[in-house]
């Protein structure tokens, strides 16, 4: 029995890496405060008034150690967990500042660090929460704290009023800095995330275009190579039809085979015309319903075993659409996907409104696997049923070139529906060309 592969714990996880960085910053800050505590113990030779600082440092160190152990687990790091870690920093630092002089402690500016990290990593709501709690903690420390001689020398030299003005200046500086960081860093981080998303989309587009070019080159070579065997088969079929002793049933089969060979030659010739028309960007115009009917009629010749009906879901004159043969091929790919499900009938409907045309292709096959739907149209598609791969990739690329999109859904009563959306010009002409 095959066992599923074990999860790759060595894969890079940016959220987990951000948490490790936060814990490293916290550890450095705790080492700095521990150094201050050791200096005070060495200078004063007493532990009076230092128990609060010691207990706060110990609790923060224990929480940091637990968090480091958590980083060895494979649990995902959520935004709420990261927010909780930042709030631990803010509240723990507030306790340390309370026992070491409050707002007069020069290390009180450390509140900026968790604020900057929140602005760079978390959503803006979480960032404003960290900013509000940091500002509240700083404001409380202006009035509620335990004096710490190392950081309040002015209070012992008769300059209490000047020291108070200095502390208030520090508070206003923190308020100003917090506001700027919260707004601008959040904005810049959001722009960076959007830029990264666009870069990922561009990479997928390049990969898909490379695959399409590879398929196009293969199709051109195949079309060239098929010309000779098709010609040979046509000659052999003609010779068989000239045989007067050929049984009636065999003659009917040869006639059908000849029709299919003619259709194959037309298809190969169409590939050549498509390349020529695309090179000079030639397009044609037809009303939407006529475009659908002609495309379905041309496709039905090659799939005589499938019953296909067309109808319009909108009233009034159909709008004109501009197209070339690649759009016809995109619709035919969707029709082939529907027919390849084994269904005996396919329904094609078209509809439109002021800004968009829709072509829906419905089959009554087994439907599409749910885990496949999310990958359809991407550069790499996992195999599922016949025809649900490169054909859809090409169709997606063609429709996106027209500014449209393709959506696939499973029908509630069985089968699947592929809907092709095409944008219409603001004032689409309703009269067909002469």
Which CATH architecture group holds 284-423?
Answer: 2-Layer Sandwich (3.30)
**Mean pLDDT for the chain overall:** 77
pLDDT in tens, 77-88: 888 888 898 899
- The pLDDT value recorded for residue 156 is 45
Beta strands in 185-313 (DSSP E): 284-287, 307-312
| Buried/exposed 197-209: b ≥16 CB within 10 Å, e otherwise | eeeeeeeeeeebe
Beta strands in 10-74 (DSSP E): none
pLDDT bracket for residue 373 (50, 70, 90): low
- The pLDDT value recorded for residue 386 is 47
Rounded to the nearest 5°, which phi and psi values hold at 284?
Answer: -125, 170
pLDDT bracket for residue 62 (50, 70, 90): very high
pLDDT bracket for residue 34 (50, 70, 90): confident
| Buried/exposed 107-143: b ≥16 CB within 10 Å, e otherwise | bbebbebbbbbbbebbeeebbbbbbebbbebbeebbe
- Catalogue the long-range contacts made by 253-260 (C-beta closer than 8 Å, 24 or more residues apart): 257/233, 258/234
Look at residues 424, 402, 398 and name the one whose alpha carbon lies nearest to residue 288.
Answer: 424
Q: Determine contact, residues 63/92, Cβ cutoff 8 Å.
A: yes
Alpha carbon dihedral 369, 202, 278, 273, in 10-degree steps, equals: -40
What whole-number distance in Å separates Cα of residue 297 and Cα of residue 292? 9
The pLDDT of 224-253, averaged and rounded, is 82
pLDDT bracket for residue 47 (50, 70, 90): low
Cβ neighbourhood burial of 314 (10 Å; 0-12, 13-18, 19+): middle
pLDDT in tens, 154-199: 444 444 555 565 566 567 666 666 666 666 666 666 666 777 777 7
Alpha carbon dihedral 110, 115, 118, 124, in 10-degree steps, equals: 170
What whole-number distance in Å separates Cα of residue 396 and Cα of residue 415? 20
pLDDT in tens, 89-142: 899 989 988 888 888 877 888 888 888 888 888 888 888 898 899 889 988 988
Residue 305: in which H helix or E strand, if any? none
Q: For residue 214, give the 3-state DSSP assignment.
A: helix
The pLDDT of 268-293, averaged and rounded, is 69
- State whether the Cα torsion 146-152-156-158 is positive or negative: negative
Look at residues 397, 377, 401 and name the one whose alpha carbon lies nearest to residue 389.
Answer: 377
pLDDT at 151 over 70: no
Rounded to the nearest 5°, which phi and psi values hold at 311?
Answer: -160, 165
- The pLDDT value recorded for residue 157 is 44
- The pLDDT value recorded for residue 87 is 92
For the chain, the domains span 14-152, 205-279, 284-423
pLDDT at 287 over 80: yes
Phi-psi region of 380 (alpha: psi -120 to 50; beta: other; left: phi over 0): beta
- The pLDDT value recorded for residue 349 is 92
């Amino acid at each position: 029995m095959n066992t599923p592969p074990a999860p790759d714990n060595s894969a890079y996880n940016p959220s987990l890496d951000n948490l490790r960085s936060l814990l490293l910053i916290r550890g450095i800050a705790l080492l700095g405060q521990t150094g201050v505590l050791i200096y005070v113990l060495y200078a004063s030779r007493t532990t009076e008034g230092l128990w609060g600082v010691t207990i706060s440092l110990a609790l923060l160190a224990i929480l940091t150690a637990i968090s480091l152990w958590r980083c060895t687990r494979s649990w995902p790091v959520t935004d709420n967990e990261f927010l909780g870690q930042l709030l631990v920093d803010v509240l723990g630092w507030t306790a340390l500042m309370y026992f070491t002089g409050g707002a007069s402690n020069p290390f009180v500016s450390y509140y900026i660090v968790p604020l900057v990290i929140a602005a760079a990593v978390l959503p803006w709501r979480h960032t404003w929460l960290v900013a509000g709690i940091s500002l509240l903690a700083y404001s409380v420390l202006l009035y509620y704290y335990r004096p710490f001689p190392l950081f309040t020398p002015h209070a012992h030299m008769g300059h209490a009023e000047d020291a108070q003005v200095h502390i208030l200046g520090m508070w206003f500086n923190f308020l100003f800095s917090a506001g700027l960081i919260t707004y601008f860093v959040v904005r810049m981080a959001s722009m960076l995330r959007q830029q990264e998303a666009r870069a990922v989309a561009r990479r997928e587009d390049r990969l898909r275009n490379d695959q399409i070019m590879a398929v196009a080159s293969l199709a051109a070579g195949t079309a060239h190579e098929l010309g000779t065997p098709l010609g040979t088969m046509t000659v052999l079929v003609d010779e068989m039809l000239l045989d007067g002793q050929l049984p009636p049933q065999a003659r009917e089969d040869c006639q059908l085979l000849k029709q299919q060979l003619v259709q194959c030659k037309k298809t190969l010739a169409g590939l050549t015309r498509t390349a020529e028309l695309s090179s000079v960007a030639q397009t044609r115009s037809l009303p939407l319903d006529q475009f659908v009917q002609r495309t379905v009629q041309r496709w039905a010749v090659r799939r005589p075993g499938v019953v296909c009906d067309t109808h319009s879901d909108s009233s009034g004159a159909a709008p004109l659409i501009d197209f070339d043969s690649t759009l016809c091929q995109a619709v035919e790919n969707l029709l082939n996907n529907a027919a390849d499900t084994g269904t005996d009938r396919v329904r094609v409907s078209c509809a439109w409104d002021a800004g968009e045309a829709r072509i829906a292709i419905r089959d009554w096959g087994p439907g599409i696997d749910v885990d496949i739907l999310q990958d359809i149209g991407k550069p790499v598609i996992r195999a599922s049923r016949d025809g649900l791969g490169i054909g859809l990739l090409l169709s997606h690329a063609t429709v996106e070139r027209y500014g449209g999109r393709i959506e696939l859904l499973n029908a509630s009563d069985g089968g699947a529906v592929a809907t092709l959306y095409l944008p219409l010009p603001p004032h689409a002409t309703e009269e067909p060309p002469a």
